[in-house]
C-alpha cells in the first residue's frame, strides 16, 4: 500500500505509534465503525484490521488541512461518551471518542517530553472528516486533560465544551462502579498528581484518606485544570455543561452545544438526535438499555445509602479547595 493512499483517503485513521516511536500506525475504518466506537483505543482494534504506517516526520509534513475540530473535555462519569455520540451526524459532525494517540501524548508530556511539535499534526489527522467540511468532535479521555491548554493553543479556531458533573454526582458514580470505581479514583489521583494538581500532603496522610475522599480530590483536580483552561488559552472559547442537565432535557442542550461549537445541525436534526436511539442505549455498551429515570433513581438510592458521610466528604473537600467555585457547572445557561 502506498503512503499516498493514507494521505488521500480519510478512511485511514491515525491510531497509535509503533513500539519504537518512529512510525505512526493507521487503521483503515469506514465512517460507521469509527462513529460507533465508544473508545478508539485497544478496545476498537481488530485482528483483521488493515494497517499502514508512516514515519513521524511524514506524519507532520503531510498533515491534512482539516476543518477546525471541536472538543469535549470532561471529568469522567458525566455522559461525555453519549454527548459525542449523539452529536455525530454524517457530513456535519464526526464523533471521535477517546483516541489512543492523545492518551499517548498526554503520558509523554507527563514524562517530561515535548509534544507541542507533533500535536498540531496529530490533531489534524485525528480530526480529519470523511467528507469535505465535516468537523470532528473530539472527546479525549479525561486522563488526557493535561493536554487541554496545549490543544486549544494548537487549534486557535476551535471551541470546546467543558463537561462535568457536580461533586456529589461524581462521588455517587464512583460508588456505583463498586471496587473497580474506587480503584480507578485512586489511579486518577496518581495520574493528575503528575500534572501538579495534588495537594501538598504527605504520602502517609494520603494513604489515610478513604476512597471517596480521594475521589473528591480527583474531582477538584479536574475542575482546577478546566478553570486554568477557561482563564488561559481557552478563554472565550469554552463553555461549561453539566451532564445531568444534558440527560434531563437533551434537546435544548444539544441545540446550545451545536450552536456554540458551530456544528451546523438544524433544529430537526437536533430534535431527532435528542429523541433518537442513541439516547436510549448505554453509550459505552450499546447492547444495554439506558433510561434517564432509572439512572436518577439509582443515583438517589446510592446517595441515601451514603447518608451524612457524603455531605461531610463534600464539605471537607471544599475546605481544602477553597478556590473551586461552588456554583459550577451550570447548564445550559452558561453556554454561549
What are the extents of the domains in the chain?
3-320
How much is the pTM? Answer: 0.93
Q: What is the pLDDT of residues 252-285, one digit of tens each?
A: 999 999 999 999 999 999 999 999 999 988 777 7
CA nearest neighbour of 93 among 74, 119, 68, 76 = 68
Least confident of 2-6, 45-49, 76-80, 165-169: 2-6
Does pLDDT of 50 surpass 50? Answer: yes
State residue 328's pLDDT score.
Answer: 60
Cβ contacts of 156 within 8 Å, gap of 6 or more: none
State residue 271's pLDDT score.
Answer: 96
Which band of pLDDT confidence, cut at 50, 70 and 90, is reported for residue 335? very low
State residue 330's pLDDT score.
Answer: 43
Q: What is the pLDDT of residues 207-244, one digit of tens each?
A: 899 999 999 999 999 999 999 999 887 888 999 999 99
Does pLDDT of 331 surpass 70? Answer: no
Which band of pLDDT confidence, cut at 50, 70 and 90, is reported for residue 138? very high
Q: What is the pLDDT of residues 57-78, one digit of tens each?
A: 999 999 998 899 999 999 999 9
- Domain 3-320: which CATH class? alpha beta
Q: Give backbone dihedrals phi and psi of 240, rounded to 5 degrees, phi first.
A: -80, 150
* 161 backbone φψ class: left, alpha, beta (φ>0; ψ -120 to 50): beta
Which band of pLDDT confidence, cut at 50, 70 and 90, is reported for residue 327? low
Place of cell 460508588: 175
Q: Look over the chain and give the mean of its residue pLDDT values, rounded to a whole number.
A: 92
Distance CA 135, CA 326 (A): 34
State residue 3's pLDDT score.
Answer: 66
Amino acid at each position: 500500500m502506498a503512503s499516498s493512499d493514507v494521505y488521500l483517503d480519510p478512511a485511514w485513521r491515525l491510531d497509535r505509534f509503533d513500539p519504537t516511536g518512529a512510525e505512526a500506525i493507521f487503521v483503515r475504518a469506514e465512517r460507521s465503525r469509527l462513529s460507533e466506537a465508544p473508545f478508539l483505543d485497544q478496545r476498537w482494534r481488530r485482528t483483521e484490521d488493515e494497517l499502514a504506517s508512516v514515519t513521524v516526520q511524514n506524519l507532520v509534513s503531510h498533515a491534512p488541512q482539516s476543518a477546525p475540530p471541536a472538543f469535549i473535555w470532561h471529568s469522567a462519569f458525566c455522559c461525555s461518551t453519549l454527548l459525542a455520540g449523539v452529536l455525530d451526524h454524517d457530513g456535519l459532525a464526526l464523533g471521535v471518542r477517546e483516541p489512543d494517540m492523545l492518551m499517548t501524548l498526554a503520558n509523554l508530556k507527563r514524562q517530561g517530553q515535548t509534544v507541542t511539535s507533533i500535536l498540531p499534526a496529530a490533531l489534524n489527522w485525528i480530526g480529519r472528516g470523511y467528507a469535505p467540511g465535516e468537523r470532528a468532535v473530539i472527546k479525549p479521555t479525561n486522563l488526557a486533560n493535561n493536554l487541554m491548554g496545549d490543544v486549544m493553543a494548537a487549534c486557535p479556531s476551535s471551541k470546546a465544551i467543558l463537561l462535568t458533573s457536580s461533586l456529589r454526582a461524581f462521588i455517587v458514580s464512583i460508588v456505583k462502579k463498586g471496587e473497580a470505581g474506587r480503584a480507578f479514583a485512586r489511579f486518577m489521583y496518581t495520574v493528575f498528581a503528575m500534572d501538579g494538581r495534588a495537594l501538598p500532603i504527605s504520602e502517609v496522610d494520603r494513604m489515610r484518606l478513604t476512597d471517596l475522599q480521594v475521589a473528591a480530590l480527583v474531582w477538584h483536580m479536574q475542575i482546577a485544570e478546566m478553570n486554568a483552561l477557561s482563564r488561559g488559552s481557552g478563554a472565550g472559547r469554552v463553555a461549561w455543561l453539566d451532564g445531568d442537565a444534558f440527560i434531563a432535557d437533551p434537546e435544548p442542550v444539544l441545540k446550545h452545544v451545536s450552536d456554540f461549537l458551530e456544528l451546523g445541525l438544524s433544529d430537526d436534526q437536533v430534535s431527532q438526535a435528542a429523541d433518537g436511539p442513541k439516547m436510549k442505549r448505554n453509550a459505552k455498551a450499546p447492547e444495554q438499555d439506558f433510561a434517564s429515570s432509572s439512572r436518577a433513581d439509582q443515583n438517589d438510592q446510592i446517595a441515601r445509602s451514603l447518608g451524612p458521610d457524603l455531605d461531610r466528604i463534600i464539605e471537607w473537600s471544599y475546605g481544602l479547595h477553597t478556590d473551586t467555585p461552588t456554583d459550577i457547572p451550570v447548564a445550559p445557561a452558561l453556554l454561549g
